[in-house]
Every structure is written in C-alpha cells, then in structure tokens.
Structure 1
Amino acid sequence: MTGRVLLAAAVLFLLAFLASPDSFAWLFQPVTRNNAPAIYTQTSLLSLTLSHLVLVGLAVAASTAVALVLAVLVTRPAGREFLPLARTVTSVGQTFPPVAVLALAVPIMGFGAGPTLVALFLYGLLPVFENTLAGLTGQPPNVAEAARGMGLTPWQRLWQVDLPLALPVILTGMRLTAVISLGTATIGSTVAARTLGEVIIAGLLSSNTAFVLQGGMVVGIIAVLIHEGFQMLERTAARRVGLNR
C-alpha cells in the first residue's frame, strides 16, 4: 500500500513539475551559485521529456521485434544451428559502449536522433533475446506433449502455447531494455538528439547543479514508473497462464 502511495505521489510530482517547472524554482535555488537560474528554460522540459520517451519507445520496439524474431527462429528445429550466430549478433550492443556506437554512427548518419536510435537498438537486443530464449526453451516437457496430443501444428503451438507461457519472461527482458535505454538515451544529446541529457549537459557545462538534478530527477522518476509498470504487466501475464509470480 505504501509503495502505491509513493508511486502515485511521484507521478503527481512529475506531472506538476513538467507542467509548471517555474513553480519549483524554490526547490532548486539552494543548489545554484552566483545567481544562476534555478530552472532550465532554454528548451521546454515537457518537450524534451516527450522527445526522450519517443526515442526510447522506438528503440525498445525495434529491439524487441528483432530479438523476438531471432529467438523464435533459433528455437525452431530448422534454425537451432544459428543460435551461436544470433547470440553473437545480439551481444554486439553490450560489447561496444553506446558512446562508441555514437562515434561510429555520426559520420554515416549525421547528428540528431539517428545515431542514438542505433545505439539504443543495439544495446537493447540482448536482454529481450536471452529472456525470450529462456522462456521458449524452459517450458516443462509435459507442455509439448499436451500440445502434440491436441494435434497442434508447430506454429499453432508457438502462438497458442509457447509465446503465452513465455510472455512473463519476455516482459522482464523488455523491462530491462526499457530502463537501460531510458538512462542511456541521455548521452544522445552529445550528438544533438533532443533528450533530457540536454539539461544534464547544460548543468555540467555551466556548473549548475540545479540543471543536473532536474534532468536526473525526471529520468529517475520515469525509470521507476516504467519498472513498476512492466512488473504489473508481468504479474498479470503470469496469472493468466497460471504461474505464480
């Protein structure tokens, strides 16, 4: 109960802050120096937040789609031999730091959201792929026997049995990808992507702690909300398939 109250309070605070940042100037004024502004006003914080979320949403959707397809393919009899290759491909994003991906992508794609999307996409593949793989391969043997006994074709079994049973684990992978991407997206502002990293970078360049706190606070609260939201979806999906989570 206490957790829900705190979560609701965080949502209300975030909405109030984004709607009227100037109303919270008193909160950040103590950490400013030399009469520096307490609130970042160069760009609307609400606009930056929405742009940040759209960027993360697109990256997570793309990572999830590709990772799901790869996991399904390598768990079918015809594609099992490609499992090592799929693992190598999905591990690339974790092997190269996002900053390195940005440095490689900017000369090809130019500045803006493009390089950031590529970095987030690559970085988000592995959690979804490995969780989907675990969900599809870790089911009890009697499930396969029951599916065959019902006369289901391999693809019918995939859509009607395997994926629904694996959904809670898949959602866990998506949660990890979403939270990681949300924080990682802040570095996109170094290549002119419109993210909340703009506020943090402005604070670092001007030695204004208030700006750094604002950017970090918004990202942090949203990360908690995404984490809790996905956990609710995981519990709901688990109950629907008769799992206790």
Structure 2
Amino acid sequence: AAATAGGGGGGATRPAGRDVLPFARSVARIGQTFPPVAVLALAVPIFGFGAVPTLIALVLYGLLPIFETALTGLDGLDPALMEAARGMGMTDRQRLLRVELPLALPMILSGIRLAAVIGLATATIGSTVAASTLGEVIISGLLTGNTAYVLQGGLVVSALALLIDAGFRHVERGAARRAGFRS
C-alpha cells in the first residue's frame, strides 16, 4: 500500500498526472468511506474467510493517509529547489528520485506511520472473519463475557500501536535530518 500510494502521490504531482489527481484522490478516499467491517462483509463472499478480506480492508483503509501525505510532502517543496534541480539538467524522473522524494520522505513516512497505527487497530476486526490477529483475544473475551480478555487484548494492541508510532517517529526524524530539516 505504501509504495502504491506514495507512487501515486508522486505521479499525481507530475504535470501529466495532474489530470488524474481528482480520480486518484477519489480512489484513495473510497477506503475511508467504507467502514472496515463493511469491506469484510463484502470481501468474505468473494475471497472466503481468513486473512485476504482483512488485508483488503487494511489496504483500502491505509491508502488515504499515505496518498495525501505524499501529495502534501511533494507539493510543499520549495520551488527554488526544483528550479535548481532543473538548472542542473536533471530530468523529471531524476528530480523526483534524487530531490523530491528524499525531501518529502519525512512527510510520506508520517502518513505511513498513521496508516500503520490505524491498520494495527483495525486488523483486530479480522478475527471476526477467521483471520489470525490480536483481535482473537478480544473476540474470545466478548463471546465468553470475560472482560479481562477484552482488556488484555486491548492493552496489547495499544502497546504495540505506541511502539509502532514511536518507531516510525524515530525513522521520520532520521529522514528529516538527512533531508536537512531540523528536528
């Protein structure tokens, strides 16, 4: 999802891609308009029970934050830097890969961080369609009326979400330093 959304964000910032930007945004927003439970309900009859419907829901749900932060990061670059890269004779592709993406990487990573944290929490509902997720403990607790299981599952998911958030923030700071930003 990250590569697709980031690549889509990069392609949509090119002059030729500006025409497809509204369509690309609409596609990315679809994942946010359908609740993950509804995506699972639609995907199970097609793909069966298990991990595949859960992965589809997670990809759809994670597209928008990654896509939008990629666009924001690429659109927010200093035009003077882009002009300097053009003046050095860089092609559009070289500018994108050597200048724009490295400078926009901290912002893109923030979208990936957001999608990862949301995805971890959202993945727990995959247990309702027989996917092995951390939601199994929560679902088991709900089915048996065992509040301790629900609390235990919720705390584990919360702790992992905090660790993922902290890890991505660390990577973002490193990318920002490499791009020449203060952190």
* Per-residue deviation, residues 172-198 of structure 1 (Å, max 9, x unmatched): 000000000000000000000001111
1:144 to 82, 87, 92: 82
TM-score (normalised: structure 1)? 0.74
Instruction: Write the deviation string for residues 100-154 of structure 1: whole angstroms up to 9, x where unpaired.
Output: 0000000000000010000000000000000000111111111011101211111
Cα distance between partner residues in 2 of 1:115 and 1:146 = 46
Q: Specify the alignment match of 1:115 in structure 2.
A: 53
Q: Distance in 1 between matches of 2:124 and 2:117?
A: 12
Instruction: Please state how far the C-alpha of 1:214 moved relative to its aligned partner.
Output: 1.5
What CA deviation, in whole Å up to 9, does each residue of 1:36-86 have, x standing for no partner?
A: xxxxxxxxxxxxxxxxxxxxxxxxxxx111101211111111111000000
Pair 1:67 & 2:5 matched = yes
Give the distance between the partners of 2:128 and 2:122, measured in 1 at CA.
Answer: 12
Distance 1:214 1:75 in 2: 44
Match of 2:130 among 192, 202, 205: 192
Partner of 2:113: 175
| 1:217-241 C-alpha deviation (Å, 9 max, x unpaired) | 1111110000000000111110111
**Rounded Cα–Cα distance in structure 2 between residues aligned with 1:122 and 1:68:** 14
70-79 or 96-105, which deviates more: 70-79
Q: Aligned match of 1:235 in 173, 178, 183?
A: 173
* 1:91 Cα offset (Å): 0.3
Point out 4+ residue stretches in structure 1 off by more than 6 angstroms: none
Q: Give 2:69's aligned residue.
A: 131
Q: Which residue identity is paired with 2:28?
A: T
Structure 1 residue identity aligned to 2:30: V
Match of 1:220 in 2: 158
CA RMSD of aligned residues (A): 0.7
Q: What is the distance in 2 between the residues matched to 1:159 and 1:121?
A: 24
Unaligned regions of 5+ residues in structure 2, if any?
Answer: none
Percent identity (aligned): 66
Cα offset for 1:207? 1.1
Structure 1 distance, partners of 2:59, 2:87, is 40
In structure 2, give the amino acid aligned to 1:91: R
Q: CA deviation at 1:166?
A: 0.2
Cα distance in 2 for residues equivalent to 1:103 and 1:183: 18
SS of the aligned residue for 1:244 comes to coil
User: What is the letter of the counterpart of residue 14 of structure 2?
Assistant: R
